[in-house]
Structure 1
Amino acid sequence: MFNVTEFGKRPGFGRLGRPIRIRTNYFEITNFPDSNIHHYDIVISPEVPPTLNRKIFQIATENSFYGIKAIFDGRRNVYTIRPFPFGDAQALDVTIPEDNASRRIPRIFKMKIKKVNEINMEEVYRFLDGRSSISSNILTGIMVLNVLIHHKPSREYLKVGRVFYTNQGSQSLSGGVEVWQGYFQSIRPTPRKLMINIDLHATAFYESDSLVQLVVKILNKRSVEDLREIQERDRVKLEKCLKNLKIYVTHRGESAPRRRFKITKLTNTPASSTMFEVNGQRIDVVTYFNNTYGRSLQYPFLPCVIVRMNSYLPMEICNVVGGQRYMHKLNKRQIAEMIKFTRQPPSSRADKINQGLQILDYRQNEYMQQFDFRVSTEMTITQARVLPAPTLHYHSASKEDTFIPKDGLWNLRNKKVAIGATLSSWACAVFGSERDYPIGTIQNFIRELVNTCQDAGMNIPNRNPPILHCNPQGGIENSLRQVWVRAGNSAKSKPQLILCILPNIGGILYAEIKRVCDTLIGVATQCIQSRHIMRAIRIYCANVCLKINVKLGGENSFIDPSQIPFITQRPTIIMGADVTHPAPGEQNTPSIAAVTASMDAKASRYAASIRIRSGRQEVIGDLAEMVKELLKTFYQTCGRKPERILFYRDGVSEGQFSIVLNEEIRAIKDACMSLDGRYKPTITFVVVQKRHHTRFFPIDTGIDGDRTGNCPSGTVVDSTIVHPFEFDFYLQSHPSLQGISRPAHYHVLLDENGFNADSLQTLTYNLCYNFARCTRAVSIVPPVHYASLVCRRARFYASGENWSNPDTPEGVGSASYGVVKSELLKTMYFI
């Protein structure tokens, strides 16, 4: 039997758990071509954007393609089900007719078409049946079908990637921005079938309003009159927001052509004093418009926009062209409004997806008809199972020391942490004045926190730590060093923790505290927003206790050892890895890679390793060294070498599987060999994907749904919508708070440990109950969650002037990055 895949092959299907039937947002392709598809290369000159390419191609197909419904990807590739009758090549001229509205004369483009390939679709059928391994021909065949389903919508709607957007039902956000509903569609291979995955996506667009009204909204003013005195800071903000925005002018009357322009910047002066030269004479914009167009400007106090060739346009004659994406970062209010738009219960989301199917209207699509391509209009129903929750243990002195959580949730009532840490050397840094945060209020909060921690099983001999008020505006490093010294002097021992009270909006301050304490001082910190200290609530203090306990080496709870036999039977290390990249536009910010690894037989305690990396490559270049560090720490902690490695890897797309498999598994093996040439632990390498569009919908919410209408915690799917033959599964491990839950997708690239479907699915699910800082099952396996937290924390380690910029709370800039103190890396400082 030939090897159909280089990755892990499915060892069978899982059987454990309560069976349920669910709907998923997959629609079965009931027929697609089995004959060869003809591939042509197309070159259009002069070169233009894809949107105009499509228009040129459409005109050409209407006039020159003999009734053949060809499909086009907007760039270079054209596909047909029947060959063009002109043979293998043709050149033709395509004329875009004149456009009276924009005074555009007819434009002539040259088009060259050349046949380059035939795609064997029969091979796709063999692949789906598990009779053929993946090949470039199969990938191309599936890609062609993706071009087919996107061809018609991309002509009728605004398309970005695999999503098209419609302003039907759009909703206004603050700041001149509105949210549009988008529909994602992608073809996925599944056992014996192809399916279309359809999901919702929303994004922000500029409102197609008058430019003046847009400016009023961006600057959050009540009316134009409030713009008579625009501060320089507001002008800079406005210029940043309007740069590259497309506008059209209205001062020539309704019948005149609407000329379009792109804003490059704003003038520093209002229209009344913005001067330029006409026929050798200097004139201001207001006078020019009065003289030339007989138009008296209403708002001469507003700056002008500058467009091509340094032309000045008064804002009041400009309107915003519709359908322009808002590419800037949304503010907190806009994010909240966006979440409100996108947050909807599963039943509503399913209804909206079905609406999207009606908009797509596959049945009336003449291109699909020519390709004999048909799609079911019903969501796919699949078999799922609800895995049983594991048994959790707290300290034996607890009233409720052993229990099985219900619905993925539990609380700390009647429970003491499994191993309580001792906190003897600590201090409190209050970032604010004593007038704002009186010493008595701070002491009351600390008293409640200490009582809660002691009731939960921690040992805190020093109940009255020193309290120092610090300036939140500057000198943070110096303040923290003073607090650290005071803690050590007070307890006559090395400080273990600095408790930091922050103003309620302390993002930049928080980042600086973590940078200083993680990379310079080497002490754990616990930050608390000041709003929580005014009224000390016990449940809040209990959540803080969970974090402090594990930061100091304690253990909150653990899973019954019999339910994680893979870890408990032989020395085993569980690793999680993540790479985060800078946001678009942050050129000087590096990528950050992190690996975390379990340090005990309960997979409760973790250590971390971090690397700051230039470039945006997904493969972790220093993985061998990082794994070596963690294996050494495991040996120092447990006294034994791990015999098995279970490695969960976040953030890898399917196109990167091969390179990650080859390079990162080799790096793990190299790390083992460098410690001992005979040391060869067995490795299982699993990719964890969160950014996908698969969603689950319970058919009977009364029986199989949770309180939010989602499928219950522990829902696992390993058939119908998974890979045709590779070892993957979807696991919805967490209970939903609101909206629809997103299951995690686990895909096994290598398995030397011989997992079957049940053993890996159950272990993965049970581990989701082991996340240290909350009393609920989490959405992805904890080592990956921890690696993500480590990456996020490392964003704060840039030092330099960037902290003074409120728009860059994540340390953007070319500043140097600090290194976490080695003693902290062996603890869960990142929780």
Structure 2
Amino acid sequence: MEEATFQLTQFARRPGVGHEGRPIRIRSNFFEITRLPEMNIVQYDIAITPTVPRRLNRRIFNRFVAQNQGGALGDARPVFDGGKTMLAHKLLPFGQDASFNVRMGEARDFRIILRRVGQDINMNELIQFLNARSPMTNNCQMAMMALEIIFGHKASTEYPTVGRSFYVPHGAHPITGGAEIWQGYYKSARPARGRMYLNIDLSATAFYEGGPLVQMITKILGRRSPDDLHRGLSDRDRQNVEKIIRGLKIRDNHRSEIRRSFKVMRLTPTSASQTKFQKDGNTIDVRHYFQVTYNRRLLYPFLPCVVVRGNVCLPIEVCDVEQGQRHIRKLNKRQTEEMMTFTRQNPTVRANKIRDGSNNLLNYRGDEYLRQFGIEVSNEMAVVEARVLTPPTIQYHPSSRENRFRPTGGAWNLRDKRLATGATLGSWAVLAFLNSDVLPDHVIIAFIRELVNTCQDTGMNVPNRNPPILRANPQGNIEESLKQAWLRAGNTAKAQPQLILCILPNTGVPLYAEIKRVSDTVIGVATQCVQSQHVRNAKRQYCANVCLKINVKLGGMNSFIDPTQIPFISDKPTIVMGADVTHPAPGPGSEGRPSFASLCASMDARASRYAASIRVQTGRAEIIADLANMVKELLKTFYQTCGRKPERILFYRDGVSESQFQSVLRHEINAVRAACQALEASYKPLITFVIVQKRHHARFFPIDRRDSDRTGNCPPGTVVDSRITHPFEFDFYLQSHAGLLGTCRPAHYHVLFDENNFNADSLQTLTYNLCYIYARCTRSVSLVPPVYYAHLVSTRAKLHARDLYSDTESSEEGTGGATTFGVVKPELQRVMYFA
């Protein structure tokens, strides 16, 4: 087919593959689907009544298949998505539609209604798409959906399933608070040039531990055994436990002949020996009732009872938690740390577990459903040709002993280097949110001395080496305390205050949030927060990191890349933009909360300095509503800073899923164009628009040890743009950072629109080089800095909305919008206050 006869894609087409860098071979967690179905797949709408959860739906469906095998279904074994879709490899004997009754156990009857969907799924169109002979059509999407259902059916009938992942109880890892982590496997059918792959990765999620409820409550309260609860539960303990176990499925265990299932509604405020009810006209307590009726002497009569349906009260000790219930509440800090430790696995361990899961648990070779549809999958991970790009030359101040160098291994330090442009810090104050008996003045003074010396040595100018030290109550009026510190800084230095250094007592987010809200939106002064533990133990490396942040907050520049290595930016006036939207966390109280959209843009020919723009918008809306005005603001700032209008715009957009590409392309590129024309009708800079994704499951594993870093990961600069990438659109994977712990996750860059005619090498190299000038550290980072900064700005914007920020899971305040959103003061908007 001639390419001119149809539009293969509305997005940018791949301009060939790259050649820069040292070639290496790696494995990736993509398993080739070596044989696709040759028949048309017949699709049925399925309705199960009454409505029940997906997991029970699957059990009902399995019973239906077992009852009708050889009859209404013939020899077919259809597959089911748990919702409304059933697929078969041929037309079933009953024809176009039918209904069936299914009995589950003794008591429950269900009805299944099946109706054939008008058009069968034709796999040939998918094959045309994979070979770049057809665009992505609705039928292609249906074919890929069918593959997902077929691959997922067997595992989802045997194990708990969440989205595209299923979880196995074998090897469950207990964590604090009565929870445990189950290892899981993610699987997704992915198109590539000329073939389909199955992307398989490890995943993990928390479940409630099965077993005696009394044991779970003991763990929730952090006690060693139920005997430690002999004094009963305080009101606060009871409320904490109730919040965690409400809605949990339990079974009673006091009658051997029958075990009933219940959901926890609440706990009684009184113990089992004090909880009373009417029985045959007499008042009796729960403890006595169980002794008389069931000859069950309660071991823990001092604990409250569980209220299940109506007024039925069960002693905690006769209740067992059903296994396999997902822990849907937010994990606390300690649980999160334990989860991260469990999931952090080095590349060799991860690759072996993925391979084992594919060959043993998933066992696609022995899957009768795949065999029926004529599908075969390789047992081995795909071997992919990759390249390792050369790191850029980083430049510091000419007076540095080492002012030009190429980092190795993606990390370096500030030894023998002075900041490219060191800011002057003359007017500042220190505000300690701790008493002098906890953190004495002499300890703070020693820390300030070390910090000032480090700042001076790295190229900042600090004429005021002894700033005033103030104290404040972390539970007090934070706004008033910051205003006092601002006044003292200005009066002491006889100059406009530049910085308040805040020392925090390691108490978490709320104090930090209030400091940033007040400093950014009320006073308009940069703040630098440090933890008291670092103040007590003043280390030069820590002070150097703090210095990097302070310098850019005051308008300095830490480092830059040799201009000859970023010609796209240095040859003509070019603005690099990064955009992100941060949504409210799911859970109680999130309804009505807004999302925060942020845009960061470079302000110089070195793409080292950035300014930001923020908007509050409707919660969960992914498209940036006011992007045109945000772009206009930053284009004006660029012009005021550089004296020239950008001739090119390179726009990196974070956090967009593939299903939203079309919508983003339509709305956001038009918004960028509209912003340019609003400034001047004839102003039409060339735009390149790139989506950046981190939420994907592609992982890379070196084959040769010489091609790995000390953590066993691929080296920074590893780029992949063939074999596992899109059949014909312009995308690539780039692992731009060095491994620290676990397996690195590459970033996936997908070009939607490109008027600048990048070739593969020029965009990949530019993107990689930019990752070396992230202002907050001396490492290459995993995402291009403008996107990283946009993420920081969105996260910070949450803290500016006073009524919308809450550290508690259950808070339901703040359903308003822009009225509660503080605007960053103009004096901060042009510097990197968010660093």
Assess same fold via TM > 0.5: yes
Distance 2:225 2:579 in 1: 51
After TM superposition, the structure 1 = structure 2 runs for residues 16-55 of structure 1, keeping only pairs within 5 Å, are 16-55=20-59
* Aligned partners of 2:49 and 2:110 also within 8 Å: no
SS at match of 2:676: helix
Between stretches 663-672 and 106-115, larger displacement belongs to 106-115
What is the CA distance between 1:546 and its match in structure 2? 0.5
Deviations 1:665-697 (A, max 9, x none): 111111111111111111100000001000000
Hey, what's the Cα distance between the residues in 2 that align with 1:211 and 1:624? 55
Determine which of 551, 554, 561 is the counterpart of 1:552: 554
- 1:414 corresponds to which residue? 416
Q: Report the CA distance between 1:808 and its aligned residue.
A: 7.9
In 1, the alpha carbon distance for the partners of 2:438 and 2:810 equals 27
* Partners of 2:503 and 2:788 in 1: CA distance: 26
**Does 2:677 align with 1:673?**
yes
1:326 equivalent to 2:345? Answer no
Report the alpha carbon displacement of residue 397 of structure 1 after superposing the two structures with TM. Answer: 0.3
Which AA in structure 2 matches 1:798? A
Partner of 2:664: 660
Provide the rounded CA distance (Å) in 2 between the counterparts of 1:800 and 1:35: 58
Residue number in structure 2 paired with 1:738? 741
TM-score by length of 2: 0.96
Q: How does 1:456-475 map to 2 (within 5 A)?
A: 456-475=458-477
3-state SS in 1 of match to 2:211: coil
Query: Pick from 88, 111, 119: which aligns with 2:96?
Result: 88
Q: 1:679 to 1:168 in 2, by over 3 A?
A: same
Distance 1:416 1:106, change over 3 A: closer
**1:537 Cα deviation from its structure 2 partner:** 1.1
Number of positions where the alignment pairs a residue of Structure 1 with one of Structure 2: 821
- Cα separation, 2, equivalents of 1:436 and 1:95: 68
Query: After alignment, is 125-134 or 150-159 more displaced?
Result: 150-159
SS of residue matched to 1:595: strand
Q: Which residue of 2 aligns with 1:312?
A: 313
CA distance in 2, matches of 1:269, 1:813: 36
What letter is aligned with 1:309?
G
Residue 146 (structure 1) shift: 0.5
Q: Deviations over 1:30-72 (max 9, x none)?
A: 0011321111112222222222222222232232301112111
Where do 5+ consecutive residues of structure 1 fail to align?
99-103
Contact (CA 8 Å) 1:44, 1:112: kept in 2 or not? no
Q: Residue 380 of structure 2 aligns to a residue in which SS? A: coil
Mark the CA change 1:811 to 1:534 in structure 2 (over 3 Å): closer, same or farther: farther
- How far is the alpha carbon of 1:512 from its aligned partner? 1.0
CA gap of 1:402–1:244, structure 2 versus 1, over 3 A, is same
Q: Are 1:797 and 1:811, in contact at CA under 8 Å, matched by a contact in 2?
A: no
Distance 2:579 2:792 in 1: 11
The letter of the residue matching 1:340 is: T
1:288 aligns with 2:292: no
Amino acid at match of 2:778: T
2:603 and 2:609 in contact (8 A); partners too: yes
Distance 2:288 2:437 in 1: 56
2:441 corresponding residue in structure 1: 439
Q: Are 2:768 and 1:765 equivalent residues in the alignment?
A: yes
| TM-score between both structures, scaled by the size of structure 1 | 0.97
Displacement after TM superposition at 1:554 (Å): 0.5
Q: 2:17 aligns with which of 13, 20, 23?
A: 13
Of 605, 612, 618, which residue of structure 2 is paired with 1:608?
A: 612
Match of residue 543 from structure 1: 545
Describe the SS at the equivalent of 1:273.
Answer: coil
Q: Which moved more, 1:270-279 or 1:397-406?
A: 270-279
Task: Determine whether 1:777 maps to 2:810.
Answer: no
**Residue aligning to 1:75:** 83
Partner of 1:126: 128
Q: CA deviation at 1:294?
A: 2.2
1:802 positional shift: 6.3
Take 1:274 and 1:59, find their aligned partners in 2: how far apart are those partners? Answer: 43
Establish whether residue 356 from structure 1 lines up as the match of residue 357 from structure 2.
yes
Residues 645 and 683 in structure 1, CA contact (< 8 A), matched pair in contact too: yes
Partner SS, residue 309 of structure 1: coil
Does the alignment pair 1:65 with 2:100? no
Displacement after TM superposition at 1:626 (Å): 0.8
| Residue identity in the other structure for 1:276 | F
Q: How does 1:444-459 map to 2 (within 5 A)?
A: 444-459=446-461
Q: CA-to-partner distance for each residue in 1:570-594, whole Å, 9 max, x for gaps?
A: 1110000011111111224321111
**1:528 is matched with which residue?**
530
1:565 to 544, 564, 567: 567
Aligned counterpart, 1:692:
696
Alpha-carbon displacement from aligned partner over 1:759-812 (angstroms, at most 9, x marks no partner): 000000000001001001000000000000111111212325966x66689997
CA contact (8 A) 2:517 2:801 kept: yes
- Residues in 1 aligned to 2:582 and 2:193: alpha-carbon distance in whole angstroms: 33
| Higher alpha-carbon deviation: 794-803 or 62-71 | 794-803
Opposite residue 119 of structure 2, the aligned amino acid is: N
Farther off after superposition, 518-527 or 303-312: 303-312
Judge which range, 330-339 or 68-77, deviates more.
330-339
Match of 1:237 among 240, 243, 264: 240
- Aligned counterpart, 1:270: 271
2:30 and 2:340 mapped to 1: Cα distance? Answer: 24
- Paired letter, 2:474: P
Asked whether the 8 Å contact 1:35–1:122 carries over to 2, the reply is no
* Equivalent position to 1:822, from 817, 821, 826: 826
- Residues 72 and 78 of structure 1 are in contact (CA less than 8 Å); yes or no, is this contact kept in structure 2? yes
1:511 and 1:810 in contact (8 A); partners too: no
Change (3 A) 1:798 1:160: same
CA distance in 1: counterparts of 2:425 and 2:813, whole angstroms = 32
What SS does the aligned partner of 1:230 have? coil
Question: What SS class does the counterpart of residue 272 from structure 1 fall into?
Answer: coil
Aligned-partner Cα distance in 2 for 1:465–1:16: 51
2:796 corresponds to 1:788: no
Structure 1 residues 22 and 814: alpha-carbon distance in aligned structure 2, compared to 1, 3 A threshold: same
Give the distance between the partners of 2:196 and 2:825, measured in 1 at CA.
51
* Cα RMSD after superposing both structures: 1.6
Alignment partners' CA distance in 2, 1:811 and 1:670: 37
Please give the alpha-carbon distance, in whole angstroms, between the structure 2 residues aligned to 1:108 and 1:630. Answer: 60
* TM-aligned CA distance change 1:800 to 1:82, over 3 Å: closer
Matching residue within 161, 164, 170 for 2:163: 161
Quick check: 1:90–1:114 contact (8 Å CA) kept in 2?
A: no
Cα distance in 2, alignment partners of residues 25 and 110 from structure 1:
38
Please say if 1:215 is aligned against 2:217. yes
Specify the alignment match of 1:101 in structure 2.
none
Contact kept in structure 2, 1:277 and 1:283, CA below 8 Å = yes
* CA deviations over 1:66-88 (Å, ceiling 9, x no partner): 11121111111111121112221
The whole-number CA distance in structure 1 between the counterparts of 2:294 and 2:232 is 27
Aligned to 2:511: 509
**CA contact under 8 A between 2:601 and 2:612: conserved in structure 1?**
yes
Q: Which moved more, 1:11-20 or 1:296-305?
A: 296-305
Percent identity, aligned pairs only, is: 58
Q: Is the 8 A contact 2:46 2:112 kept in 1?
A: no
Which has the higher mean CA deviation after the structures are superposed, 280-289 or 668-677?
280-289
Paired with 1:536 and 1:236, the residues of 2 have a C-alpha distance of: 41
Shifted more, 440-449 versus 585-594: the winner is 585-594
Contact 1:796 1:811 in 2 (8 A): no
Amino acid at match of 1:735: A
Instruction: Report the Cα distance in structure 1 between the residues aligned to 2:647 and 2:239, rounded to whole angstroms.
Output: 59
Map Cα deviations across residues 252-288 of structure 1 (whole Å, 9 max, x no partner). Answer: 02xx122110111111111112222334443322222
1:301 partner amino acid: F
2:367 is matched with which residue?
365
The separation in 2 between residues aligned to 1:150 and 1:539, in whole angstroms, is 49
- Mapped contact 1:581–1:616 kept (Cα < 8 A): yes
